[in-house]
Structure 1
């Protein structure tokens, strides 16, 4: 007799006793684990086949069964009115198989188990268990960090560990375990306190840390001062902190202390709302983290980094002078407050020289709105490249425009040459020949066309 399902959703079904009787006892306990929470189902034909057993096999409840090629676990044994006969409600290993929400005619017959792994409460001997396991996903299993550490000796070669959505709020130091781990995903757990990260900061091979939506509001590495590198996270190359509550730029300054950091994702944090222009925001982050190569999945090319650092050095030049900075090295003593807000500023002055007095005259505060120019970007020697319209601040330097165009047009590391055409100068191109000059220096106006060649 074939199995019969009721309409709905879930990971279970009711099948007739005869259908599953042959499969009882065919499998040991355990078997493949489900990927998501399953729900209930039950059902039946109400008609007994010839030779059908009048009662289920002894100990049927909880036994493993095989129906065709699908594995399941018996969760219910009994009647399903108004049908006649004895029925077995089974929970499929494959959650896509079941189709019911657990209630039939107002009666809920059984529930599928939650995706909860049972761990030992004390450390047990796990020598040789999963000795070659490289990747382990325990998402949405309600596992605690303590339980992870108890079982971690059984994963001596583990490289990737996924623990999302487990309500993990407290971490512990992983002494002598997880030492081979290269990737750790703690997304959608409410860690809240950024200091919790210090407890996992000495994993020697950890290259990627994913902390999406963990509630953290700050990041701090107290073992290193301004301009120094921390001993924490020595191998960390890729960090994801999207969708958190980081509101202060000081946390971004701290990331410059990570010696190996190369890639950062930081969308949807309050600090990003302090600067409305997305290009300026990107330039600030680039200038603050010296070794960064990829920001929010977009490569940082050398020309963009140079432009960002030169602009940063100039934009905060007056603040540097007001805080005790000076062109004379013997008198150059910026305040601790300034260094806390701009820890990279001294190194930028060493790299490019202190900003000249002429650069700082009439410098607009960063918070003032710059007039936006609507410009059309064209590539005259690349007809397949369609013109693009962009709004750029008139104070944006030629260097920063080039950095934008590298990403916008996906141009390889070739040297860009920019010029512009104006309706007031018909038939004439004006070359943008000084990377440090702003667009307004060249009298570019709304509606002008910037020409890009490489």
Structure 2
């Protein structure tokens, strides 16, 4: 439906479904016509940003249009409204940005500008506009362009431009936002894009005024080398399964699609995926995704090459439904699920084909409110090949309640195949130390439980006992000896050797650095006293300047016989005594072990 307007060009552009911009606001035309009792033509707009809207498409009890995305994102404006723009063609936008020569200023302005260039601001000027005239001259050869960024770009033009018959906007500001592939009214035709810039590999059309995937395909069909396409915050009309008019070969070689904030559904994503056989990576954050139905007439996989998908900042909560949806991606390896609504990961159903989920190598669950350790252990069952995990503690109550220094070793110990946690590699030494720490801690917590209870609460505990030996066996011998002794302070004293070090110890000899004798100092400590209260005595025994305040950390250097290691060039197990409210017995420290005291006496 069209309306009488100032120019024939604008008459052709105003149609239901057209995209417009008005200053910083973008929207979609949902209605063109009369709105009684007023006279003249009105445009009913659904704004991308709902805060710009005033209603849901109705006026005085009469509905003129419906808002597709936001209930109250609608308003009416006149076709002659200030700064109203219908954008430009793809080639016009490229020429505006990459070819248009800068306006020549008069002599007085040039002289004033020249005075502003000084040593004080020269560096800043060069950073903002490094030889832009040379850049424009080189880019004027558009066939050499490999990367083009037109994402939400606009250009101000002077009155002389407006006087040349360019009346597509009602102000002197002409927008170069892409709204269509080519403009026949300006002499453009099919094939011009292929002849002008055929070598594009990377293209940013974010926040454009393109109305549909069909119109986008009219551009990309001529860009046969295109590999990366950015479409953030576009608003394309929905794809109807029975009426898809995507140009053949439009996305044949595309490997990377980025479409945050486009409000695309999983169904639409699968439909467009059928036209992108080479796609390897999808970024689809902030799209409100929470359902994953995919009903395609064509039974072939829409994503035969897809290896990575970023679904951050959506509303995903159903883990099994998500994994089931990803079964159509046979090569999927990496999935980003940060800032979603996943609160639980249930056990793997017995009838589930686990093999399809096991190919996932990396998962990011940052800022999801998982409720228990069981969720992480179930994650390991869903993804047996999981190598890398990102997870934050703030939203997870079972992690937030822990000492921050305990979180990493406890996660590492519970996930046996993990190689990287929060982008930091897990070394063999770190894994061994984490598993021994977990074994020692959980053995105490599960004392007195039945084997069934222990296996339910700590499924990794049995495997670690088989790997390192049961902690209970070592304890039972000492408990037998101690049972014959009276419970006196003397029986709770532990004589142990301590060393002062200026750096964090390592598992490799000489283990720590010290300007003093490596023989160490023997000191008797109560095993039932919190480590925090023992720091003063340790500082006095070692003659540490500044006393306990100079102690940065305390580390346990385990005896070789305890760690049951042979022929490893005297490598030793070392771990920090991070929780100062625990006592030495909680860390299973014996007289054969040693303590390394890291100090800073400066």
Q: TM-score, normalised by structure 1?
A: 0.59
Counterpart CA distance in 1 for 2:368 and 2:245 is 38
Match of 1:205 in 2: 331
Match of 1:150 in 2: 271
CA contact (8 A) 1:211 1:242 kept: yes
Counterpart CA distance in 2 for 1:114 and 1:349 is 53
Counting matched residue pairs gives 332
Match of 2:541 in 1: 424
Counterpart CA distance in 1 for 2:206 and 2:369 is 38
Which secondary structure state, in structure 2, belongs to the residue aligned with residue 184 of structure 1? strand
Match of 2:362 in 1: 238
Which secondary structure state, in structure 2, belongs to the residue aligned with residue 316 of structure 1? helix
Match of 2:470 in 1: 354
CA contact (8 A) 2:254 2:279 kept: yes
CA contact (8 A) 1:152 1:177 kept: yes
Q: 1:276 to 1:423 in 2, by over 3 A?
A: same
After TM superposition, the structure 1 = structure 2 runs for residues 275-314 of structure 1, keeping only pairs within 5 Å, are: 275-314=401-440
Deviations 1:128-187 (A, max 9, x none): 331111100011111111100111111111110000001111013596221211111111
Match of 1:109 in 2: none
Which of structures 1 and 2 has the bigger CA Rg?
Answer: 2
- Point out 4+ residue stretches in structure 1 off by more than 6 angstroms: 23-26, 28-33, 41-45, 93-96
Which secondary structure state, in structure 1, belongs to the residue aligned with residue 355 of structure 2? coil
Match of 1:386 in 2: none
Match of 1:135 in 2: 256
User: What's the offset of the Cα at 1:198?
Assistant: 2.5
**Does residue 162 of the first structure (1) align with residue 278 of the second (2)?**
no
Counterpart CA distance in 2 for 1:192 and 1:131 is 33
Alignment counterpart, residue 598 of structure 2, candidates 430, 435, 450: 450
Alignment counterpart, residue 459 of structure 2, candidates 338, 343, 349: 343
After TM superposition, the structure 1 = structure 2 runs for residues 352-391 of structure 1, keeping only pairs within 5 Å, are: 352-359=468-475, 378-379=502-503
CA contact (8 A) 1:249 1:271 kept: no
Which secondary structure state, in structure 1, belongs to the residue aligned with residue 471 of structure 2? coil
Match of 1:10 in 2: 24
Counterpart CA distance in 2 for 1:196 and 1:189 is 15
Counterpart CA distance in 1 for 2:424 and 2:361 is 15
**Does residue 122 of the first structure (1) align with residue 241 of the second (2)?**
yes
Which secondary structure state, in structure 2, belongs to the residue aligned with residue 231 of structure 1? helix
Which of structures 1 and 2 has the larger relative contact order (alpha carbons within 8 angstroms, sep 6+)? 1
Match of 1:331 in 2: none
CA contact (8 A) 2:266 2:294 kept: no
Counterpart CA distance in 1 for 2:575 and 2:164 is 90
Gaps of 5+ in 1: 1-7, 13-22, 75-92, 97-112, 325-333, 363-374, 380-400, 407-412
Counterpart CA distance in 2 for 1:432 and 1:27 is 69
**Does residue 179 of the first structure (1) align with residue 273 of the second (2)?**
no
Gaps of 5+ in 2: 1-21, 27-86, 96-147, 181-204, 209-231, 480-498, 514-519, 522-538, 545-554, 560-572, 578-583
User: What's the offset of the Cα at 1:354?
Assistant: 2.2
Alignment counterpart, residue 387 of structure 2, candidates 259, 262, 279: 262
Greater helix content? 2
Report the aligned-residue RMSD.
Answer: 4.9
Deviations 1:381-404 (A, max 9, x none): xxxxxxxxxxxxxxxxxxxx86xx
Q: Which moved more, 1:173-182 or 1:127-136?
A: 173-182
Q: TM-score, normalised by structure 2?
A: 0.46
Which secondary structure state, in structure 2, belongs to the residue aligned with residue 235 of structure 1? coil
Match of 1:196 in 2: 321
